[in-house]
Amino acid sequence: MKPVVDHDLCIGCGVCEETCPEVFQLRDDGLSYVINENPEPELYGQIRDAVDMCPVEAISVEGG
Ligand code: SF4
């Protein structure tokens, strides 16, 4: 699973970082960045939660 944030959609709310700080990081430019592109399977649940909770559906996952 490779998480991706669409920076054209992200509004910098920080929900993804709160949900899975091992993978998402909010930076000074007000956008969320993926800091771990090959997360371990233990994080998949949190990543899916972040996908579901993002208010603008900016997060997608490649490869399942
Ligand atoms: S939850 Fe969505 S809108 Fe909010 S910071 Fe993360 S990617 Fe951006």
Q: Looking at ligand 1, which residue's alpha carbon is closest to its atom 4?
A: 13
∠ CA 16-21-26, nearest 5°, is: 60
Its pTM stands at 0.95
Q: Looking at ligand 1, which residue's alpha carbon is closest to its atom 6?
A: 16
Q: Looking at ligand 1, which residue's alpha carbon is closest to its atom 3?
A: 10
Structural domain that includes position 26: 2-62
* Domain total of the chain: 1
Return the DSSP state at 35: S
Predicted local confidence at residue 42, as pLDDT = 98
Instruction: Encode pLDDT of 2-30 as tens digits.
Output: 999 999 999 999 999 999 999 999 999 99
In this model, does residue 31 exceed pLDDT 70? yes
Are 44 and 1 in contact, with CB atoms under 8 Å apart? Answer: yes
Predicted local confidence at residue 63, as pLDDT = 84
Backbone angles phi, psi at 33, to 5 degrees: -120, 145
Query: Quick check: CB of 4 below 6 Å from ligand 1?
Result: no
Interatomic CA distance for residues 1 and 12, integer angstroms: 22
Query: Quick check: CB of 20 below 6 Å from ligand 1?
Result: no
Instruction: Encode pLDDT of 34-56 as tens digits.
Output: 999 999 999 999 999 999 999 99
Predicted local confidence at residue 64, as pLDDT = 63
Please provide the size of the chain in residues: 64
Residue 14: CATH number of its domain: 3.30.70.20
